[in-house]
Structure 1
Amino acid sequence: MSADTLPKLLRDQAGKFGSRVALREKELGIWKEISWREYYEHVRNVSLGFVKLGLKKGEKVSILSENNQQWLYGDLAIQSARAMTVGVYPTNPPEQVKYIVGHSESRFIIVEDQEQADKVLEVAGELPFLEKIIVIDMKGMRHYESSLLMSFDGLEEIGAGYHRENPDMFENMIRCTDPSDPAVLIYTSGTTGPPKGAILSHRNM
């Protein structure tokens, strides 16, 4: 039976291609390779980390970042939990970030670095649904004291621990994903008013 959701497709590709290269990303001028198996394991750990933090089916998680491997891990991790990914343009100013994160009622947001975290922290007091800001690159943030902040690596560690306690859970989660599940909430850039959100299911994609 062919995969009918993106998480199922990732699972199948990881099973089929294993150690073959799935992703390449340049770090400090050197290309880093990520295998299909590693890709799957990162997604699993992030997804189970979110579940451990309380993410539930149908809820939303925003991502405020340039394209990188963590964007992909986060996106598929969110969908594996049958929640929805909300992409936020990294060029958006704090007020637009506030609108999208607030309007979508996102409980969590993944941000790339200090610059993006600062945008969210600036408006966090007006985002009653927001519980955690998950930062991919914590450089320059050692002295930040907000209880909203946690690292992306820390989220993965939580998920890895949860997987050790529940080794079959993630596979069962993927098996339960359905093509009719809402997968992403996309906000169009409005020129005459606030951005409008459009929901796409796995079947739509």
Structure 2
Amino acid sequence: MVYYHYAELIHKQAEKYGSRTALKYRDNESGKWLKISWKDFSEYVMLTAKAMAEFGIEVQEKIGIYSQNMPQCLFTDFGAYGNRVISIPMYATNSPAQIEYIINDADIHTLFVGEQLQYNNAFKVQKESSVLKRLVVFDPAVKFNPDDKT
């Protein structure tokens, strides 16, 4: 049996299984279960890894993921593996004080956030933080704070 590094695993699975279902998730608006194929999963991971590189996220730099379970968390984790970036998970229910502590302790410059609650909390922290530089929002329905200029 051949074992692959996590950075390669998704792409090898995509070659092998193509359009077969890699994962399913429930759409919050319609309530329907949607599928993501191995091929699409691989493409999303590559796009995420490329975006991290474009952001200037360096090898061994730490990023945070502050979100409920959603496909974008997996894309971010596997994209981080590909770029040799360290992914620090946070509970979606963490308070601003808790995420501020984690961000400062781990020296996180980029935080990936899920939905409105996580964005609101993260933005509060970012306004007062000398460490946190960038928020990346997964949910396109998030309403940005008017003071958010980044």
TM-score, normalised via structure 1 length: 0.68
Q: How many residues align?
A: 148
* Alpha-carbon distance in 2 for matches of 1:115, 1:21: 30
**Alpha-carbon distance, 1:104 to partner:** 0.8
Q: Does the alignment pair 1:33 with 2:35?
A: yes
**Alpha-carbon distance, 1:32 to partner:** 0.9
Judging changes above 3 Å, is the alpha-carbon distance between structure 1 residues 144 and 67 closer, same or farther for their aligned structure 2 residues? same
Equivalent residue runs for 1:1-205 within 5 Å: 2-27=2-27, 28-141=30-143, 144-148=146-150
The alignment yields a C-alpha RMSD, in angstroms, of 1.6
TM-score, normalised via structure 2 length: 0.91
**Alpha-carbon distance, 1:143 to partner:** 5.6
- Where in structure 2 are there 5+ consecutive unaligned residues? none
**Alpha-carbon distance, 1:29 to partner:** 1.6
Judging changes above 3 Å, is the alpha-carbon distance between structure 1 residues 142 and 108 closer, same or farther for their aligned structure 2 residues? closer
| Percent of matched pairs sharing the same residue | 28
Mean CA deviation greater in 88-97 or 120-129: 120-129
- Where in structure 1 are there 5+ consecutive unaligned residues? 149-205
Deviation string, structure 1 residues 149-185 (Cα, Å, up to 9, x no partner): xxxxxxxxxxxxxxxxxxxxxxxxxxxxxxxxxxxxx
Highest RCO, 1 vs 2 (Cα 8 Å, sep ≥ 6): 1
Residue 173 (structure 1) aligns with: none
**Alpha-carbon distance, 1:129 to partner:** 2.7
Judging changes above 3 Å, is the alpha-carbon distance between structure 1 residues 114 and 144 closer, same or farther for their aligned structure 2 residues? farther
